[in-house]
């Protein structure tokens, strides 16, 4: 490296004489030339390096421009190829869609041929084909516009309607006959059609409607019937009550059979349980039906108590008979469907008859007291007279026959309700009240009878 020349590095004697100044200047110039000669190779070397660097920089710029142009050409090529790939993919998707549509059409036509070959007894197989055809139509709705597919779709509609009609009829008949195999077959058809939930809801509503009709129709006594002979009408009414409990029993058993089959049945092909395609309410069909039956009992019996004088009097007079029918119905139901019903359910059933029970207990007390009124009629007459007329009163003393009749009424009442603990307790209270009244009447009769003896004294 060379160093810059500094004036202080040249020691020139300071002089004011011109010659001396000229010599100093010459000496300085000589020193400068020596320095230049000394550093000239190094300066030349640096200038050559700068030239080479400038040349290299220019070559690099040229190469960079060439690479930029190549990159641009590659980008244009890639964009063209990408556009071609996208176009090819779109064409491939369209081809796949057309191929899928053709396969769906082939499958639909194949199903229609199989449906034509099936007989009317193959509802289960036909339902599978109908359901598959419906799924094909959902996946490819454009098939509707295909001419050759319209005939197949018409056939599918016709076969589906036939399957639904036959399965509905079989389900109703099998439930009525308690044929579990027939019920399972009909349910399999609706499962294959994909409409099991809708059919179960429809069937349950139908059974509940029958249950409602069974209760309401038996308690609906037209006025014309009540004006005929009382005994035949009463016999017919109690036969109707027996039929009512029998029909309600049958409807509840049908609901139980439906629930039992739904809980156990699985699809024969996939093994999928029927309950897996149903909502939560389908696992408690019997519970809902029982609640519906209790509601109808309460509603219709209360309505009959207020609307029909004949029903009110007939049931109230023979309430133990209704109670025995209801208990026999509940016992039979509990034995047929074990583990479902509890004692609380029986209590809720009997609560439906509370108005008739109250009327019966009131009439029972009256029936106990009426013989007393006849036996002690003279006391009631004498109680209206003054004490001065008591001696002239003519008292009638109850006979042995009267007392036997009275106690016979009490005994018959106890025998009628012996098997009904809830009524037995209330009737015992009424009998005790009547006996207490009987004793009070006897005491009063004795007092009235001996009163003239005290007056003679």
Tell me the domain boundaries of the chain.
Answer: 205-341, 362-456
Pick from 321, 289, 300, 294: which is nearest to 416 by CA? 321
* Residue 242 CB burial class (10 angstroms; 0-12, 13-18, ≥19): middle
Task: Kindly indicate the confidence band of residue 144, based on its pLDDT and cuts at 50, 70 and 90.
Answer: low
pLDDT at 224 over 60: no
Average pLDDT, the chain: 76
In sequence order, which ranges of 220-353 are alpha helices (DSSP H)?
223-226, 230-264, 285-307, 309-317, 319-336, 343-350
d(CA 406, CA 375): 9
Q: How confident is the model at residue 223 (pLDDT cuts 50, 70, 90)?
A: very low
Length of the chain: 457
Q: For a pLDDT cut of 90, what percent of the chain falls above it?
A: 8
Higher pLDDT: 365 or 401? It is: 401
Which residue is it, tokens 């999928």?
A: 272
Nearest CA-CA partner of 406 in 369, 432, 440, 377: 369
Q: Does residue 259 contact residue 283 with C-beta atoms inside 8 Å?
A: yes
Give the pLDDT band of residue 246 (cuts 50, 70, 90).
very high
With tokens 């003679």, the residue in question is 456
Helix 180-193 vs helix 123-139: crossing angle, to nearest 10: 20
Which of 345-349, 358-362, 440-444 ranks highest by mean pLDDT?
A: 345-349
Question: Per DSSP, which regions of 354-412 are E strands?
Answer: none
Residue 200: burial class (beta carbons within 10 Å; 0-12, 13-18, 19+) = buried
Query: pLDDT higher for 386 or 260?
Result: 260
pLDDT at 234 over 70: yes
pLDDT at 102: 59
Query: What is the structure's pLDDT at 46?
Result: 77
Phi, psi of 304 (to 5 degrees): -65, -35
The pLDDT assigned to 2 comes to 45
Q: How far apart are the C-alpha atoms of 8 and 5, rounded to whole Å?
A: 9
Name which of 330, 324, 328, 325 is nearest 345 in CA terms.
330
pLDDT at 169: 84
Tell me: pLDDT of 268 over 90.
no
Backbone phi and psi for residue 143, each to the nearest 5 degrees, phi listed first? -65, -25
**Is the model's pLDDT at 380 over the cut of 60?**
no
What's the rounded Cα separation, in Å, for the pair 378 and 393? Answer: 8
Rounded mean pLDDT, 410-425 = 65
pLDDT greater at residue 379 or residue 302? 302
pLDDT at 334: 92
Residue 388's pLDDT is 37
Smallest CA-to-CA distance from 351 within 373, 376, 330, 380 is with 330
Tens-digit pLDDT profile for residues 334-345:
999 988 888 888
pLDDT band at 374 (very low <50, low <70, confident <90, very high): low
pLDDT for the residue 331 = 92
> DSSP code of 278?
S
Per-residue model confidence (pLDDT) at position 293: 92
- Percent helix, strand, coil in the chain, to 5, is 85, 0, 15
More confident residue, 351 or 112: 351
Alpha-carbon span 261 to 123, nearest angstrom: 19
Above 70 in pLDDT, residue 14? no
**How confident is the model over 133-140, as a mean pLDDT?**
65
Cα–Cα distance measured from residue 14 to residue 345, given in angstroms and rounded to the nearest whole number:
140
Query: For residue range 160-198, what is the model confidence (pLDDT) as tens digits?
Result: 777 788 788 888 888 888 888 888 888 888 887 788 888
Three-state SS at 273: strand
How much is the average pLDDT of 383-392?
A: 44
Residue 147 has pLDDT above 60, yes or no: no
Highest mean pLDDT among 128-137, 213-222, 285-294: 285-294
Q: Give the residue among 254, 256, 255, 275 at the shortest CA–CA distance from 264.
A: 275
Ranges 56-65, 139-148, 226-235, 261-270, most confident:
56-65
User: What is the spatial distance between Cα 261 and Cα 255, in angstroms, rounded to a whole number?
Assistant: 10
Q: What token pair was written down for 106?
A: 């082939």
SS3 408: helix
Of the listed ranges 53-57, 208-212, 248-252, 376-380, the one predicted with least confidence:
376-380
HSE at residue 318, side-chain half, CA atoms within 13 A, is 12
Span 323-327, mean pLDDT?
A: 88
């Amino acid at each position: 490296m060379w160093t810059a020349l500094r004036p202080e590095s040249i020691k020139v004697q300071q002089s004011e004489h011109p010659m001396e100044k000229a010599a100093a200047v010459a000496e300085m110039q000589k020193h400068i030339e020596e320095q230049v000669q000394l550093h000239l190779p190094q300066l030349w070397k640096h200038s050559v390096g700068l030239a080479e660097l400038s040349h290299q920089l220019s070559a690099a710029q040229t190469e960079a421009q060439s690479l930029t142009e190549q990159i641009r050409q590659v980008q244009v090529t890639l964009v063209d190829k990408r556009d071609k790939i996208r176009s090819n993919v779109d064409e491939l998707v369209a081809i796949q869609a057309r191929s899928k549509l053709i396969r769906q059409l082939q499958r639909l036509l194949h199903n229609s041929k199989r449906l034509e070959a099936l007989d009317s007894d193959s509802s289960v197989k036909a339902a599978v084909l109908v359901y598959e055809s419906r799924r094909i139509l959902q996946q490819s709705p454009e098939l509707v516009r295909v001419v050759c597919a319209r005939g197949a779709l018409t056939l599918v509609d016709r076969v589906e309607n036939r399957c639904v009609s036959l399965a509905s009829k079989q389900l109703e008949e099998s439930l009525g006959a308690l044929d579990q195999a027939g019920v399972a077959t009909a349910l399999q058809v609706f499962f294959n059609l994909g409409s099991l939930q809708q059919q179960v809801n429809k069937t349950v509503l139908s059974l509940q409607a029958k249950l409602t009709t069974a209760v309401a129709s038996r308690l609906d006594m037209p006025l014309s019937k009540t004006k005929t002979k009382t005994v035949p009408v009463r016999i017919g009414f109690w036969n109707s009550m027996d039929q009512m409990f029998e029909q309600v029993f049958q409807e509840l058993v049908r609901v139980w059979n439906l629930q039992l089959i739904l809980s156990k049945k699985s699809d024969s092909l996939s093994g999928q349980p029927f309950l897996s395609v149903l909502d939560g309410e389908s696992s408690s069909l019997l519970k809902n039906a029982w609640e519906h039956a209790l509601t109808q009992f309460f509603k219709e019996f209360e309505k009959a108590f207020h609307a029909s004088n004949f029903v009110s009097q007939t049931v109230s007079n023979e309430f133990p008979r209704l109670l025995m029918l209801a208990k026999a119905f509940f016992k039979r139901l509990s034995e047929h469907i074990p583990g479902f019903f509890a004692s609380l359910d029986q209590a809720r059933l009997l609560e439906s008859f509370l108005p008739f029970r109250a009327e019966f207990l009131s009439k029972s007390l009256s029936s106990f007291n009426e013989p007393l009124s006849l036996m002690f009629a003279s006391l009631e007459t004498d109680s209206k007279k003054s004490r001065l007329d008591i001696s002239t009163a003519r008292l009638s003393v109850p006979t042995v026959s009267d007392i036997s009749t009275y106690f016979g009424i009490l005994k018959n009442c106890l025998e009628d309700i012996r098997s009904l603990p809830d009524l037995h307790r209330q009737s015992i209270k009424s009998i005790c009240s009547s006996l207490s009244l009987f004793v009070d009447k006897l005491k009063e009769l004795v007092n009235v009878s001996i009163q003239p003896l005290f007056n003679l004294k």
